[in-house]
Amino acid sequence: MVSQVHLGHIFHVAGRPNVQEAADALVSVPDGALVVGRDGRIAYCGGRDELPAEFRGAEPTDHRPGFLLPGFVDAHIHFPQTFAGDAYGGGQLLEWLTRCIYPSESQLADPVYAQRAAVAFCTRRIAVGTTAAMVFGSAFPHAQDALFGETRRRGLRMVSGRGIQTTGEDAVAPLITSEDEAIRLAKSEIDTWHAVDTGDVDTALLHVAIVPRFALAVTSETLRNLGELYDSVRDRGVYFHSHLNENNRPGTGEVDSTKQAYQVDSYLDTYDGKFLPGSQVGGKSLLGKRSIFAHGVHCQEAELRRLAQTGSSIAHCPVSQQFLGSGTMPWKRTIAAGVTVAAGTDYGGGDEWSIPRVLAAAFKVHISEPGEDGVSMHPAEMLFTGTLAGARALDMESRFGNFDLGKEADFLVVDPTGTPALEDTLAQGIRSDDPVLARDQMLFALLMGMSESTIAQVYVRGRRIDDH
Ligand code: GUN
Ligand code: ZN
């Protein structure tokens, strides 16, 4: 691969800020050039006028008046729900799981169906510009093989693990395994797929996670065994992923049901080795800087502190929280605790594949939080949450997430002409005389108005990804 020079309006959040510092770290280069070296890394990001002489010989690819953005990171999405979007369950989370999701995920027992789902899943990811993702996997090993195989063929980044379930109602029976089988299959997936593409966890595009569906889907024995297993593979860079504090309908919701089932003080305790009655220690913790918990809508202060202390992250999924009536994650309180908050679609709990649609939902729900809790998210915070925070949640911030020199070039060509309403908004909308506010207004309009049709090209590590 020779050096590539891409021209367009660059937006990214530079350096290693936290979300509160994102506005100061926002970089906007209206007449920008992004240079990708032969090694697939960012060799230059700046003004076209200041393009270093060494890159002037290369024929540039001119995307103007398009934009160049870092690839989006989806920190929580369900592969076996590829065909389960907009499913009507006549209730909230637990009814929807029983009536729609367990039967739907059971379809992947058929290898042909599973392969079709893997192809469709990757196609959708590419269409919406999701270059990296934490993917909640199928219970069926052949379906996970199809997913990893197809993801590798397309050249996408992914962390995924088979959804582990060792107990549950009749509807979920096809997804349940014995205790021994659950551990055997998790180990086997790690050995087969973790960093398989390069053989080195620090350069791989593919990684494996240990993924119990949620505490209610497993037993104390499973949690103890997973703690042992995770402890033995942490130093290989294996991930952990699950759901946490998503739905608190009083009495019968997920949060109360979990606390009742385990007799623990907090939901997080079940993943933190404290899954015995009274939150007594029964095994090793599953928390850490490679652990991502989806939702975290109803966390106690102590749970947020513990997530922050262990470097664990939250995948914030406001589209799903609206779809399933799960409530609103308190934005100010959660980020004040110092937890990394990335964005997740939670598809098919969410009915959008696109991370910008999730960021737009985040803006709307957080401005609507009551009283002092309400906040008008800065567009740089939105961009940060959908890109750099995702890379940080995946513990790969040093590799991608923005256009800092030397990072692997995961980026999108965003073409507003693909979306006429957005094109009009950008061209005709009024902008402040203050150049900083005008910049922020443009980024906001772009993120709010962007959709699948706006994503023109997708690159991972400098390589253009085909959408077929
Ligand atoms: N909790 C347990 N399983 C699921 C799932 O599939 N989706 C969501 N949103 N929450 C869950
Ligand atoms: Zn989910």
* 152 closest CA partner among 100, 192, 184: 192
Q: Domain check: are 110 and 168 in the same one?
A: yes
Q: Domain check: are 130 and 252 in the same one?
A: yes
Query: Ligand 2 mean position to 81 CA, how many Å?
Result: 10
| DSSP β-bridge partners for residue 4 | 36
Rg over CA atoms, the chain: 21
Q: Domain check: are 244 and 280 in the same one?
A: yes
What is the DSSP annotation of 290-347? TEEEEE-TT--HHHHHHHHHHT-EEEE-HHHHHHTT-----HHHHHHTT-EEEE---B
Is ligand 1 within 6 A of the CB of residue 243?
Answer: yes
- Please tell me the number of the ligand nearest to residue 100's CA: 1
The per-residue pLDDT for 252 is 81
Which residues make Cβ contacts (< 8 Å) with residue 45, sequence separation at least 6?
Answer: 10, 12, 27, 29, 32, 33, 34, 35, 403, 404, 405
Ligand 1 pocket mutation pick from 74, 94, 101, 245 by most atoms within 8 angstroms of CB: 101
- Please tell me the number of the ligand nearest to residue 315's CA: 2
What are the tens digits of pLDDT across the range 185-214?
999 999 999 999 999 999 999 999 999 999
The reply to whether 270 falls in a domain is yes
Measured CA angle at 264 (ends 263, 265), to 5 deg: 130
Q: Which residue has its alpha carbon closest to ligand 1 atom 9?
A: 349
Phi/psi of residue 57, nearest 5 degrees: -75, -25
Mean pLDDT of 258-286: 98
Query: Ligand 2 mean position to 365 CA, how many Å?
Result: 19
What does the alpha-carbon distance between residue 409 and residue 29 come to, in Å, rounded to a whole number?
Answer: 17
**Which amino acid is residue 103, in one-letter code?**
P
The per-residue pLDDT for 70 is 99
What does the alpha-carbon distance between residue 325 and residue 188 come to, in Å, rounded to a whole number?
Answer: 37
What does the alpha-carbon distance between residue 48 and residue 51 come to, in Å, rounded to a whole number?
Answer: 5
Helical (H) or strand (E) element with 240: strand 239-244
Give the domain range for residue 433.
4-70+403-464
The reply to whether 387 falls in a domain is no
Ligand 1 pocket mutation pick from 81, 82, 93 by most atoms within 8 angstroms of CB: 93
Ligand 1 pocket mutation pick from 74, 83, 86, 97 by most atoms within 8 angstroms of CB: 97
Cβ atoms within 10 Å of 265's Cβ, excluding its own = 14
Q: Domain check: are 281 and 419 in the same one?
A: no
Is ligand 1 within 6 A of the CB of residue 264?
Answer: no
Query: Ligand 1 mean position to 244 CA, how many Å?
Result: 9
For position 112, which CATH number holds? 3.20.20.140
Phi/psi of residue 78, nearest 5 degrees: -105, 115
The closest-lying atom of ligand 1 relative to the alpha carbon of residue 349 is 9
Mean pLDDT of 174-193: 98
- Please tell me the number of the ligand nearest to residue 77's CA: 2
Q: Domain check: are 81 and 130 in the same one?
A: yes
Residue finishing a domain among 317, 344, 368: 368
Structure tokens at 5: 């020079």
Query: Ligand 2 mean position to 118 CA, how many Å?
Result: 17
Q: Domain check: are 315 and 346 in the same one?
A: yes
Cβ atoms within 10 Å of 429's Cβ, excluding its own = 11
The closest-lying atom of ligand 1 relative to the alpha carbon of residue 101 is 6
Query: Ligand 1 mean position to 295 CA, how many Å?
Result: 10
Query: Ligand 1 mean position to 349 CA, how many Å?
Result: 7
Confidence of residue 1 (pLDDT cuts 50, 70, 90): low
What is the DSSP annotation of 159-173? EEEPEE--S--GGGG
Query: Ligand 2 mean position to 446 CA, how many Å?
Result: 27
Structure tokens at 426: 């950008």
The rounded Cα 409 to chain-centroid distance in angstroms is 18
* 44 closest CA partner among 413, 344, 462: 462
What is the DSSP annotation of 333-394? HHHHTT-EEEE---BTTBS---HHHHHHHHHHHHHTSSGGG-----HHHHHHHHTHHHHHHT
Tokens 């060792």 found at: 166
The per-residue pLDDT for 466 is 84
Query: Ligand 1 mean position to 284 CA, how many Å?
Result: 24
Is ligand 1 within 6 A of the CB of residue 76?
Answer: no
Is ligand 1 within 6 A of the CB of residue 461?
Answer: no
Q: Domain check: are 268 and 408 in the same one?
A: no
Is ligand 1 within 6 A of the CB of residue 241?
Answer: no
pTM: 0.98
Mean pLDDT of 316-336: 98
Q: Domain check: are 203 and 269 in the same one?
A: yes
For position 64, which CATH number holds? 2.30.40.10
- Please tell me the number of the ligand nearest to residue 320's CA: 1
Measured CA angle at 305 (ends 301, 308), to 5 deg: 140
Query: Ligand 2 mean position to 349 CA, how many Å?
Result: 6
What are the tens digits of pLDDT across the range 402-423?
999 999 999 999 999 999 999 9
Q: Domain check: are 116 and 132 in the same one?
A: yes
Domain count, the chain: 2
Q: Domain check: are 59 and 78 in the same one?
A: no
Beta carbons of 44 and 406 less than 8 angstroms apart: no
Q: Domain check: are 27 and 160 in the same one?
A: no
What are the tens digits of pLDDT across the range 56-103?
998 999 999 999 999 999 999 999 999 999 999 988 999 999 999 999
